[in-house]
Amino acid sequence: EFFTDNLWGTLPCSWQEALDGLNPPQLATQLLGMPGEGEAVRYRSVWPLTLLALKSTASALAFTRTPGFQTPSEFLENPSQSSRLTAPFRKHVRPKKQHEIRRLGELVKKLSDLTGCTQVVDIGSGQGHLSRFMSLGLGLVVKSIEGDRRLVERARRLDRELLQALDKEEKRNPQVTQASPRRSPHHVVRWVEPTALCPELLLPLETRSGCGARLLLTGLHACGDLSVALLRHFSCPEVAALASVGCCYMKLSEPGGYPLSQWVAGLRGSELPYRLREGACHALEEYTERLRKAGPGLRTHCYRAALETVIRAARPELRRPGVQGIPRVHELKIEEYVQRGLQRAGLDPQLPLDLAALRAQQAQENRVVAFFTLALLLAPLVETLILLDRLLYLQEQDFHAELLPIFSPELSPRNLVLVATKRPLGEAFSLLETEDS
């Protein structure tokens, strides 16, 4: 909506003067406040106090995203292979996911030991990478629940592949023989509804003699309402612990997905429209690096905003249609991008175009990037509000919960894990966040 709603004109004049003309590297250091090594933030002019206050407040009120370990030591030797995972567990797994399954899996193992859980339930397990590492790598009893049958079938194939690879490795190195037999995750095809309890989720695979099941629920980037479903199931007596990493906040249902806590629901103006929730899913650290490099790919923002003006002129009722990624945008003229975008939006690509208007919009490319960066400044703050609401929701029920930055934000932007238990763990929470060697 940059052009259609004249968003630049909504900024105070003093903000426009401070931001106008800043190039991308200057936006990275001055607005997002992330100077490079040895750099200091130097403003080319005196900024208005209101803008400086917004920048400082957004930073001060957001949960820290910096984990307490060196980032990321596991990829120093090879950027595509984690040195902390053996080769069989890296197969078919991208570096980002290697980092995530190792970090979350090890945390779940510690939390399971601390709370005496007998089974881990991985909700929204996808292709089962986390479940495989927890079960075949860490020896946990794991049930994986995924609604997409195709993903479950692939997960089972990958389970078999991994077992074969581990057997071959064991034959080559008999000293690594496991004391107990390996057990693959138990995969279940099932959709988990956020508003209703799922009996399958709470059903134990096995129980210890004389003891009931003690379940630990986890979800790695559980999408939208799925992370809310984990929280609702935590109140069930069978569940003893929770480790949830949320994602896709724009898919939260309204009402129902947010707010959850009575405290946030009672705040005046606590509503979060789609645009804010979608913005909270952006990768702040990755985008800062894009700004620092000032690559031509930043042009996409301006081109997409210009395309929106053409779409609404042709179809006023059609707003923000999904436009699949157009490759090599920086090599296209703006009219070429608009024509391809019209086609992807289901409109006639040969619509007559006002080339003079498009050129004038293209001349504002730096303003578009500046406004987007200003919106991105608020992304960690919006995510903080969503996660704080979940934290308070659990605490209102007298549960014990904390938020920990578990992943390197450069690798995995949604890196805050919500850890909850039904009895106090005291200093044990700090033990869950250990440094990488």
> Which pLDDT tens digit goes with each residue over 52-67?
999 989 988 998 888 8
Is residue 433's pLDDT more than 80? no
The strand pairing partners of 245, in sequence order, are: 220
Tokens of 291: 């700004």
Higher pLDDT, 146 or 36: 146
pLDDT digits (tens, 9 = 90+) for 111-121: 999 999 989 99
303: left (phi over 0), alpha (psi -120 to 50) or beta: alpha
Is residue 357's pLDDT more than 90? yes
User: Are 162 and 89 in contact, with CB atoms under 8 Å apart?
Assistant: yes
pLDDT digits (tens, 9 = 90+) for 169-221: 878 877 665 656 788 999 999 988 888 888 888 888 776 655 667 899 999 99
Higher pLDDT, 44 or 298: 298
User: Are 155 and 146 in contact, with CB atoms under 8 Å apart?
Assistant: yes
pLDDT at 36: 53
pLDDT at 37: 58
pLDDT at 255: 77
Higher pLDDT, 271 or 434: 271
Largest separation between any pair of C-alpha atoms in the chain: 79
180: left (phi over 0), alpha (psi -120 to 50) or beta: beta
Angle value at C-alpha 7, between 5 and 9, nearest 5 degrees: 110
Q: How far is CA 40 from CA 14, 29, 34, 73, in A?
A: 23, 8, 9, 26
Tokens of 275: 């645009």
Residue type, 58: A
pLDDT at 437: 41
Identify the CATH assignment for 73-172+180-247+414-433 out of 1.20.5, 3.40.50, 1.10.3470, 2.60.120. 3.40.50
Which residues neighbour 60 within 8 Å (Cβ) at sequence distance 6 or greater? none
* Mean pLDDT of all residues in 116-141: 93
pLDDT at 230: 92
Is residue 274's pLDDT more than 80? yes
How many angstroms separate the CA atoms of 152 and 3, rounded?
44
* Mean pLDDT of all residues in 289-311: 90
Q: Within a 13 Å sphere around the CA of 209, how many CA atoms are in the beta-carbon half?
A: 0
pLDDT at 133: 95
How many angstroms separate the CA atoms of 219 and 223, rounded?
9
Higher pLDDT, 122 or 212: 122
Q: How far is CA 342 from CA 249, 318, 330, 355, 365, in A?
A: 28, 12, 18, 15, 20
Is residue 272's pLDDT more than 80? yes
In this structure, of 78-87, 92-101, 336-345, 381-390, the range with the lowest mean pLDDT score is 78-87
The helix or strand, by DSSP H or E, that contains position 121, with its residue range, turns out to be strand 119-123
Q: Within a 13 Å sphere around the CA of 154, how many CA atoms are in the beta-carbon half?
A: 12
Higher pLDDT, 176 or 357: 357
The strand pairing partners of 403, in sequence order, are: 418
In this structure, of 101-110, 288-297, 298-307, 420-429, the range with the lowest mean pLDDT score is 420-429
Give 283's pLDDT tier (boundaries 50, 70, 90): confident
Q: Is the dihedral of CA 318, 324, 325, 330 positive or negative?
A: negative
Q: Is 249 helix (H, G, I), strand (E, B) or coil?
A: helix
Q: How far is CA 71 from CA 3, 314, 435, in A?
A: 39, 49, 10
Is residue 305's pLDDT more than 70? yes
In this structure, of 69-83, 114-128, 373-387, the range with the lowest mean pLDDT score is 69-83
Q: Which DSSP symbol is given to 22? A: -
Higher pLDDT, 322 or 149: 149
Domain extent listing, the chain: 7-34+50-62+283-377, 73-172+180-247+414-433
End-to-end CA distance of the chain: 46
The strand pairing partners of 243, in sequence order, are: 218, 419
pLDDT at 71: 59
CA 54 to chain centre: 24
Is residue 387's pLDDT more than 90? yes
Q: In what order do the strands lie in the sheet with 239-247?
A: 186-189, 142-146, 119-123, 215-223, 239-247, 416-421, 400-405
**Quick check: bond before 259 cis, omega within 30?**
yes
